[in-house]
Amino acid sequence: MSEARTNPYELGLDKNAANFVPLSPVGFLLRSAAVYPERISVIHGERRYTWRQSLDRCRRLASALAAHGIRRGDTVAVMAPNVPEAFEAHFAVPMAGAVLNALNIRLDAETIAFILKHGGARVLITDTEFAPVIGRALAMLDDKPLVIDIADPLGPHGADGVASGGRRLGALDYEEFLAGGDPDFAELTPADEWDAIALNYTSGTTGNPKGVVTHYRGAYLNALGNILVWGLRQHPVYLWTLPMFHANGWCFPWTVTALAGTHVCLRRVEAASVYEAIERHGVTHLCGAPVVMNMLLNAGAGKLARPVDMMTAGAAPPAAVIGGMEALGFRITHVYGLTEVYGPAVICAWHDEWDDLPADERARLKSRQGVAYPVLEGLMVADPETLAPVPHDGATMGEIFMRGNIVMKGYLKDAPATAEAFAGGWFHTGDLAVAHPDGYIEIKDRSKDIIISGGENISTIEIEDVLYRHPAILEAAVVARPDPNWGETPCAFVTLKDGATADPTEIIAFCRDRMAHFKAPRHIIFGPLPKTSTGKIQKFVLRERAKEGT
């Protein structure tokens, strides 16, 4: 029998204050303010802040929150568009040891009331533009949070927050609240990097939304993951077209800060303001859903004076839209992820040899979701029942599964949903995809969106990709419509470009010429498409309309 052996690496080599500090993205702000104190950190209209000033403001906010009783583990909610105050909350709230709950600004009062109650918000920082909906939400609560008003000079009610019919809800104004804070406040570090840093609610299509709890470790790692996959260099100029409330802006409040870049805030995403900001501020990077790309593509602005990098996700982008954007001078990077994995976690990593391919083929390759971020440990397409990986044949469909340090802690106060999401030791995304021979994955549908017609699986994304090639179509979405013979058939909702004309027969024929006939839509319905605040088309609304035939 061999003698028991002692592992020398377990003796006297313990974690201590000198060799271990819990990972926290707050450190990115401290470093940038120390190394580049006079560089511009934030631009919003005529407002300009340096990194020294941003640190000062964040410390004041953290101090003021602490003075009003905010402690470790308390929730601080923010209802604001992409303004400096929303950016500051991403650092100040964790500096106070609290958890940031960024609210979707398009939610209704009932949903906001549910989130504030479910998340236990002790403080609500809210832009005065949303006073009507917030007022109705607060009226539904017995235990109301402390309300602090943001009066943005670029908002509809001006700097005083009450012009043009606006009103204030809070006892305190944001700038007054900051003035009472200490610029030398000693920010709290997490007791454990597994501590919660943010609470983000998924948009529920039925029932109440689920509260996704993320941790410091994941936020830190995915912020760096963005740098790695996008090849970001020091001092990018980043335009905020992606909402900061959407998965914490895909971690870009922390990513851009780590590189001492400049955050250019944009209160409303409109094509003219995006192009104006690109030209005025020398924007180098921005993010947005495919609907934002489509908006920019059809604005008639012409080719950019210099290339701009754009990261897109949120829905599978049509290859035609990617190709069109690149012709304008946007360099498109396609990523994929969910709120449960801090935003983007998969990237269509580019190969130099693909540059020589025809434009259509490049766009097709770029429309695939791709491979895992360097900070994601596991990614596979597998059978949802057995978790057996599907063949890498580009045809066999399975569900996308993930695991690693950038997966959420779980759903707040919902142990059954958390257990279901993590069954088998993997996070179940609910997205259906194939794996190609090169290992790249390609989404075919959400599990609830796949159309099963006569026993055949039909990908709505495949049909949408064909529809976007039609010269008259601006936007398209496909859902299942009940059918007495086939069970269900594809129904397409389309919006035409300004001045364009097309009839249903022509569009159906266009699709049938480019795909298997059984996959082509049987019905075409015209009209604007309902969307979430992040640009995702609300297919659950369209499914109901398809049933009614309207």
Confidence of residue 165 (pLDDT cuts 50, 70, 90): low
Asked if the structure places residue 68 within a domain, the reply is yes
Summarize the confidence of residues 200-213 as an average pLDDT. Answer: 78
Higher pLDDT, 443 or 228: 228
Q: Are residues 350 and 421 in the same domain?
A: yes
> Cα–Cα distance between 274 and 279 in angstroms, integer?
9
Confidence of residue 212 (pLDDT cuts 50, 70, 90): very high
Model confidence over 427-450: pLDDT tens digits?
999 888 999 999 999 988 766 677
Q: Are residues 232 and 245 in the same domain?
A: yes
Confidence of residue 166 (pLDDT cuts 50, 70, 90): low
Q: Are residues 430 and 518 in the same domain?
A: no
Model confidence over 457-494: pLDDT tens digits?
687 888 998 999 999 999 999 999 988 777 789 999 99
Q: Are residues 420 and 282 in the same domain?
A: yes
Summarize the confidence of residues 503-520 as an average pLDDT. Answer: 90
Q: Are residues 405 and 463 in the same domain?
A: no
Q: Are residues 336 and 383 in the same domain?
A: yes
Asked if the structure places residue 149 within a domain, the reply is yes
Asked if the structure places residue 251 within a domain, the reply is yes
Q: Are residues 298 and 416 in the same domain?
A: yes
Nearest to 53 by CA among 66, 38, 63: 38
Asked if the structure places residue 238 within a domain, the reply is yes
CATH of residue 133: 3.40.50.980
pLDDT reported for residue 168: 78
* Domain's final residue, options 142, 171, 189: 189
Summarize the confidence of residues 360-370 as an average pLDDT. Answer: 89
* Domain's final residue, options 403, 424, 446: 446
Residue keyed to tokens 């142990």? 415
* Residues recorded for the chain: 550
pLDDT reported for residue 201: 95
Asked if the structure places residue 440 within a domain, the reply is yes
**Mean pLDDT, the chain, integer:** 92
Asked if the structure places residue 536 within a domain, the reply is yes
How many domains does the chain divide into?
A: 3
Q: Are residues 442 and 455 in the same domain?
A: no
Q: Are residues 274 and 334 in the same domain?
A: yes
Residue 446 makes CB contacts below 8 A (sequence gap 6+) with: 430, 431, 432, 539
Q: Are residues 425 and 458 in the same domain?
A: no
First to last CA, the chain: 79
Residue 67 makes CB contacts below 8 A (sequence gap 6+) with: 180, 181
pLDDT reported for residue 228: 97
Buried b (16+ CB within 10 A) or exposed e, 415-446: eeebeebeeeebbbbebbbbbbeeebbbbbbe
Indicate if the pLDDT at residue 24 is higher than 70.
yes
Q: Are residues 292 and 389 in the same domain?
A: yes
Q: Are residues 518 and 429 in the same domain?
A: no
Indicate if the pLDDT at residue 356 is higher than 70.
yes
CATH of residue 521: 3.30.300.30
The one-letter amino acid code at 419 reads A
* Domain's final residue, options 164, 189, 214: 189
Q: Residue 323: give the domain boundaries.
A: 222-446
Nearest to 65 by CA among 178, 223, 156, 203: 178
Asked if the structure places residue 540 within a domain, the reply is yes
pLDDT reported for residue 440: 97
Record the pTM: 0.85
Lowest mean pLDDT among 97-111, 119-133, 203-217, 344-358: 203-217
> Cα–Cα distance between 500 and 201 in angstroms, integer?
38
pLDDT reported for residue 77: 98
pLDDT reported for residue 194: 97
CATH of residue 317: 3.40.50.12780
Asked if the structure places residue 10 within a domain, the reply is no
Residue 161 makes CB contacts below 8 A (sequence gap 6+) with: 128, 149, 150, 151, 155, 167, 168, 173
Confidence of residue 205 (pLDDT cuts 50, 70, 90): very low
Summarize the confidence of residues 171-196 as an average pLDDT. Answer: 95
